[in-house]
Structure 1
Amino acid sequence: MNYKILLTSLLILGINPLSANAYCPQGNPRSTDYIRRKTPDRCEGIKVQPISGNSLSLISIATRNINDYGNRISLQVPRIKKGNNPEVLVTSRDDKHNKYNYILDDLLLSNNGENFGFSWDTYVLKKANIPANKLRALASYSLGSQKVYVPVTLAKSSGKYEFVFYSQDRVRFTSLKIFPLEKKKEDNPIYSTSRKTANSGEISFIWDGSKAPGGRYKLHYIAFIDRINEPSDRIENVIVFEHHPNWLK
C-alpha cells in the first residue's frame, strides 16, 4: 500500500491546533464567552474554533476523578527539576456538533512547593453544560529545546494516566508504546497498544504507571489519517513526559 507521508517533528510542538490564542479580551463575566476573568486571573470560556483537516492533536495527559461539579474545581501540575512556569491548557470539545471549545488557559498558578496549583469557580462549566467527564488538561515545561509534558491532576487522581488525542478525521494507531527516555533500543516497552479501527474525535489510551519507577519517559506512536479514495497520511511522533508513582496517589 502506498501512503502519503506527513512529516512531523519528533516533538508534538507545532501540531496542536486546539491551543487557544495568547490573547483573550475583556467581557461580561456572566457570559460564557472566552474572556479574561478574575479571582483568580485566567482566560476562560467558550470559543468557536474550527479545526482544519489533516491534523492529529495531543489534548490531554491527565489523571482525573470528577463525577460532577461543585462550586469550584482544582488542578495540580507537578514541579520537575529545572522546570518553571509550566504551560497549562484545559479544554473540552463538543464532538457531536464540532462547533466550540471550552478553553481555560493563561492561568495564574500558585506555587505549592512540589506542585503548581489552580482553583477556579465552575460557573462557565455549569452554564455551558460541559460534562465533567469531558474535561481535558495538558501541561508542559520548555527545557531548552525540549518540551517535557507532565500529567495534570484534575480534582483527584484516578490512579491511572489518560492520554487523549483528537482528530476530526478518521485515525488509526498502528502502534503506541512507552519506554524510559534513556532506553536507546526500543524493545520491551513498558506499555504497548494499538487501535486498528479508524475513529474520529477523541481517542484515549489508559496507562497504569503506579508500578513504573519515577523518571522521564517517551511515548512513541505511529498513526494513519484515513480518507475515502485518498492515500493515508502517516504520522510518527515521540512525546516526552515525566512520571512519578506518587502523582497517581
Structure 2
Amino acid sequence: MRILIVEDEPGISNFLKQGLEEESYVVDVHEDGNAGLKSALTGTYDLLLLDWMLPGLSGIEICQAFREKHTETPIIFLTAKDTVDETILGLKSGANDYIKKPFHFEELLQRIKVQFRNTARDEKEFKIGDITLNTGNHKVFKGSEEISLTQKEFALLEYLMRHKGHVCERTQIIKDVWDIHFEYNTGVIDVYINAIRKKLQLNETNYIETIRGIGYILNETQEKIK
C-alpha cells in the first residue's frame, strides 16, 4: 500500500516515513505543496497524509484539487489547526479524517487502517485460478498447498493481483514495489517473476504474461505459453 505524505517539518515527515515503512507501507514524502499535488495526481497512492500550512499550495488546496480527479482515495489531515471551524473546513474540502498535532503514532496507524477498511483496496484475499493470496496472514496457497514466498515476492505477486487484467509497466513496478524513484535496471523484476512462476508451478501457463518491452499482466485465463 502506497502513502503520500506532504509535510514541511522534516522531523515529523521522517518520523512518519520510518514508522509507516516498518508497517510495510511504501511511503513518499514532499515538503512543498506544489510538488505534493503533482505527485498525488501523477502517482498511484492508496492514502494521502496532508499538513495544512505548506510552502506553495496549502493542504486545503491540495485536497480540493486532488478530490476533483480522485474521489475514493482516503485523505487524512495532520495539522496544528485545531478550531472547530478549521476542522469542518478540512473535512468539507474532501478529507476523510482530521488529526490534530501533536498526536500518537499508534492512533494515526489505527486511523489509517480504518480508512483502508472503508475502501475497496482493503481486500484481504485475492484469487486467480487455484492460487490464493491473503494479505491478512501473509500467506499464498496453490490449491490446498501453502507456498513459501519471500517478502518481495509476496509484494510483487500482490501488486499484480491487485491490478489483475491491467498491464503493469516495469518502471511503475519498480516505483511501487521497490520504492525506487530513479533510473534503475528493471531486470531485477524478471528474477522475481521467474521465482514466483517456479514456486507456483506456472512455467507452462501464462497467468503472469510478459508484455515484451513494457511489463507484465496477470490474466484470469489459463493458457499454454506458445
> With structure 1 as the length reference, what TM-score do the two structures score?
0.25
Using the size of structure 2 for normalisation, the TM-score is 0.26
Q: Which structure shows the higher strand fraction?
A: 1
Structure of larger gyration radius: 2
- Which fold has the larger relative contact order, with Cα–Cα distance below 8 Å and residues 6 or more apart in sequence? 1
Kindly indicate which of the two structures has a greater share of residues assigned to helix.
Answer: 2
